[in-house]
A and B are shown apart, each in its own frame.
Chain A
Amino acid sequence: MLAYTFRRLLITIPTLLVVIGVVYILLFSAPGGPFDSERVVPEAIQAQLMSKYHLDQPYWKQYLLYIWQLLQGDLGVSYRYADWSVNELVGSALPVSLAIGGLAIALSLVIGVLLGALAALYRNSFVDYFVMALGSLGSVVPSFVLGPLLVLAFAIGLQWLPSGGWDHFSWKFMVLPVSLLTLINVSTLARIMRASMVEVMNSNYIRTARAKGLPMHLIVFRHALRPSLLPVVTIVGPLAVSSITSALVTESIFSIPGLGILVVNGAANRDYTLVLGLVVLITTMVVLVNLCVDLMYAFLDPRSRA
């Protein structure tokens, strides 16, 4: 298992090199550059800016230079946020996104699995209809509608919570965004859990267990729950990464200084180094999360351990 984990971690390096290369090509082929603005910058100044950021070098050299910087842990300076380095920007946005996205994904996992399991066990009952209705609602109503509704109800109507903003991880500012992300994720997870559990409950070995006269709670907890979780685990990896790194709608509705807004502003302003830095971060996260998912598989499904 250790050797496998180590091998998987090593694969991260070529993956990163390729991803950075592809993003480099995409960024440089997009029309418009970081220093294009309403005003045409005089040539002497443009040349100065290009050389300051090494943008006057051949592309391959810039790529190698970037990799060299990256090896030293330096993600470069941002063009859009000129007073800050990419390390500083990511360093201040990542904890915010981790807090919001991480809390939301943990909550949705617990609530989603619970609701999905209940719906499957009480199929075609009121509980099932309720969970499915909730699931459909979360899937069809987009977050840019749900979010403002939450704000209207809890911030402007009842005035219990702030409508947005951020203040040193104060819980008050986290309740609404975490709720919104949780609501959306729960709807996906509950539906998947329900479908998977229904299938497991209909399988032969559960039927055997029932025929043996095992009590229901034992059947569910000992035999049905673990295999039912497999598809949930598959989906929770990418869901977690997207909740943390690209919760842009949630971030803008609640005006949260997270990673999503950096990604969008970076791309729109052709802030090459910021976009690359975020790509490195997101790629690393995806690789690590996928590794965790695979390890969870081994734990949940004895067949995959072989």
Chain B
Amino acid sequence: MRNMSQTFLAASLSGVLALSSLFTWAATVPAGIQLHAEQTLTRNNGSEPETLDPSLIESVGAANLTRDLFEGLTSIDAQGKIVPGVAEKWRQVDPLTWTFQLRPQAKWQNGDPVTAQDFVYSFRRLVDPKTGSKYARTFGDFFLNGKEVSTGQKPPQDLGVRAIDKTTLEVKTAHPVKFLPELVSNPNLSPLHAVSIEKLGREWTKPGNLMGNGAYALKSWQVNSKIVLEKSPGYWDADQVKITRVTYLPVEDGHVDVKLFESGQNDWVYMLPPGSYDSYLKKYPKDTRNTPLLALRFYSIQTQSPFFKDVRVRQALSMVLDRDILAQKVTADGQLPAYGLIVKGVEGADRVDYEWANWPMAKKVETAKALMAQAGVKPGAKFTFSYNTSEYHKKMAIFAASEWKTKLGLAVELEAMEFKVLIKKRHDGQFEMARDGWNADYNDATTFVALVKCDSDQNHSRHCNKDAEQLIQKGLKESDQAKRKAALNEAIRLIMNDYPIIPLLQYSLPRLVKSYVGGYSTDNQMDRFRTQDLYIVKH
């Protein structure tokens, strides 16, 4: 769908992007497939959701649940493609203005129609600092006045979103946002039933209270045990929804998760335990799935710390780390080596590897040694590497430390800590090198650029390349997609040549999904599966 809108927008900004509502978008069962009599699914969600309030959710697990309970303007289908949600069509009126036409059949569970005002209420509530959403700025910054509203400088009413009439929503953006149709598929931007929220307060997300407009309704919720959703009969596309009941489990331990799968109590292992991918691939070849995610594993370097002030030191450390061994032998779960900021599948910028990425290791080591000598760092020099306690991160850290010791003679002190402590250290810049990682919030290069751009709260390296910053600002204002991409590409090249981070691997998600769960696809690189797109094949 994105390609379609891209071509179209290039042709005419004022044209109409009509996505016919004659089509249905829920589970499409291929011809010849026989469905199982009982259409129920149990999927492990990896952790207990922090909340089911779309404005306040921040974890992947909570997003999965709210994606079933609420439907936004658009949605992402099992293949990772944008499909219409409550909005049946949309158009970009000018570079900064979009209108979304809502389908009149869209209803809340109590039968109330879903209106443009419900979206206005939700968008304002998300960005309003009084709500306390951690995603207020992530999404708010895209909307006109979003930044000012989220920082309390303007009232929520000034946010660039308004209801033209009951079924027409107008969204004004702060700068051209080509991927807005994808952005609004995020559950944080689901519509909200204002009356329920205002009346019930904090109780509104409880079973019996939660008023959603999605394909499923909240049936029961036992904390740390399970959340059960049932098909919502009033959903506008209910005829196409095959699975009638879905149970979400909050199991965090991968081994326990697999045991539940093996004993038949779970159809969907959230993520295989570290180091077990190969053995499960042999044991359950039909059920083992592995999707490369739009996510990057990297190490952040505090570029203002004395040890890492010199860019040559940072480059040397990045060069000698053998990503192939890291991917194939150390983590061994199908992740791809990464030599740049942008990973495979990301739109809006090209994936560019360092020029030395394919050099033989001997040449890399030789160059790195020369760089270290020029920087005046002698073998035996010492720095501290911080990571949060986990077998996985420890294995990777020990490997990296041994690479730097054997190839460059550096002494690395490994420091393990709780996740909360690491987060604080990274934000405060109280580290020399730290384990880091990022999962794209939306499919555009800017979600990764935020990790390395000036004045970004996610820039743990505290590195700022002024020339790159100018290019980024220029790119963001650009409505010509080719020019925007060129500006971002050049900015990323400039920043990455300053080596503020060491890119390591592109995350993948190795998991088990029973072969009878139809509709599952490894093309879904953001791992966003609506239960309504799935079905149970006869088994």
Which of A's residues lie within 8 Å of B, judged by CB? Answer: 30-33, 35-45, 47-49, 52, 77, 80-84, 89, 92-93, 148, 151-152, 155-156, 159, 162-166, 252-258, 261-262, 265, 268-270
Interface residues in B405-431 (C-beta closer than 8 Å to A): 418-421, 423-425, 427
Q: How many residues of B contact A (CB 8 A)?
A: 50
| Bound complex: CA A156 to CA B152 (Å) | 56
Interface residues in B213-265 (C-beta closer than 8 Å to A): 222-226, 249, 251-253, 255-256, 259-260, 262-265
Q: Is the CB of B224 within 8 A of A42?
A: no
Q: Nearest-CB distance from B261 to chain A (Å)?
A: 9
Beyond A44-B151, A45-B133, A257-B223, is A163–B423 a contact (Cβ under 8 Å)? no
Q: Nearest-CB distance from B128 to chain A (Å)?
A: 9
For the A-B complex with A37-B423, A45-B133 known, give 8 more contacts whose Cβ atoms are closer than 8 Å: A32-B418, A32-B423, A33-B420, A81-B50, A82-B56, A93-B224, A163-B256, A166-B222
Beyond A31-B421, A255-B251, is A166–B225 a contact (Cβ under 8 Å)? yes
Q: Is the CB of B58 within 8 A of A37?
A: yes
Q: Which among B132, B262, B457 is the interface contact of A52 at CB below 8 angstroms?
A: B132
Q: Is the CB of B223 within 8 A of A156?
A: no
Overall SS of chain B's interface: loop
Closest 4 CB pairs of A and B: A32-B420, A40-B457, A257-B224, A257-B225
| Bound complex: CA A151 to CA B262 (Å) | 10
Q: Is the CB of A48 within 8 A of B129?
A: yes
Interface residues in B89-143 (C-beta closer than 8 Å to A): 129-138
| Bound complex: CA A32 to CA B426 (Å) | 11
Q: Nearest-CB distance from A10 to chain B (Å)?
A: 34
Q: Is the CB of A269 within 8 A of B225?
A: no
Q: Nearest-CB distance from B203 to chain A (Å)?
A: 8
| Bound complex: CA A38 to CA B135 (Å) | 11
Interface status of B282 (Cβ within 8 A of chain A): no
Interface status of B51 (Cβ within 8 A of chain A): yes
Overall SS of chain A's interface: loop
Q: Is the CB of A155 within 8 A of B58?
A: no
| Bound complex: CA A165 to CA B248 (Å) | 12
Q: Is the CB of A268 within 8 A of B420?
A: yes
Q: Is the CB of B132 within 8 A of A156?
A: no
| Bound complex: CA A277 to CA B178 (Å) | 48
Contacts of B129 in A (CB 8 A): 42, 44-45, 47-48
Q: Is the CB of B259 within 8 A of A40?
A: no
Residue from the set B131, B134, B249 with the largest chain A CB neighbour count within 10 Å:
B134
Contacts of B260 in A (CB 8 A): 163-165, 255
Beyond A82-B50, A159-B263, is A32–B151 a contact (Cβ under 8 Å)? no
| Bound complex: CA A265 to CA B222 (Å) | 16
Q: Nearest-CB distance from A2 to chain B (Å)?
A: 40
Q: Is the CB of B202 within 8 A of A77?
A: yes
| Bound complex: CA A80 to CA B224 (Å) | 12
Q: Nearest-CB distance from A44 to chain B (Å)?
A: 4
Q: Is the CB of A151 within 8 A of B134?
A: no
Contacts of B137 in A (CB 8 A): 42
Beyond A48-B132, A255-B256, is A163–B420 a contact (Cβ under 8 Å)? no
| Bound complex: CA A258 to CA B223 (Å) | 9
| Bound complex: CA A217 to CA B356 (Å) | 85
Q: Nearest-CB distance from B483 to chain A (Å)?
A: 30
Please give me the residue from chain A that is nearest to B149 by CB atom. Answer: A44
Contacts of A162 in B (CB 8 A): 263, 265
Contacts of B53 in A (CB 8 A): 82-83
Residue from the set B52, B58, B129 with the largest chain A CB neighbour count within 10 Å:
B129
Q: Nearest-CB distance from B24 to chain A (Å)?
A: 33
| Bound complex: CA A265 to CA B56 (Å) | 19
Q: Is the CB of A82 within 8 A of B51?
A: yes
Q: Is the CB of B223 within 8 A of A93?
A: yes
Please give me the residue from chain B that is nearest to A155 by CB atom. Answer: B263
Q: Which among A156, A256, A258, A270 is the interface contact of B263 at CB below 8 angstroms?
A: A156
Please give me the residue from chain A that is nearest to B426 by CB atom. Answer: A38
Please give me the residue from chain B that is nearest to A267 by CB atom. Answer: B418
| Bound complex: CA A49 to CA B131 (Å) | 8
Interface status of B48 (Cβ within 8 A of chain A): yes
Contacts of A45 in B (CB 8 A): 129, 132-134, 136, 150
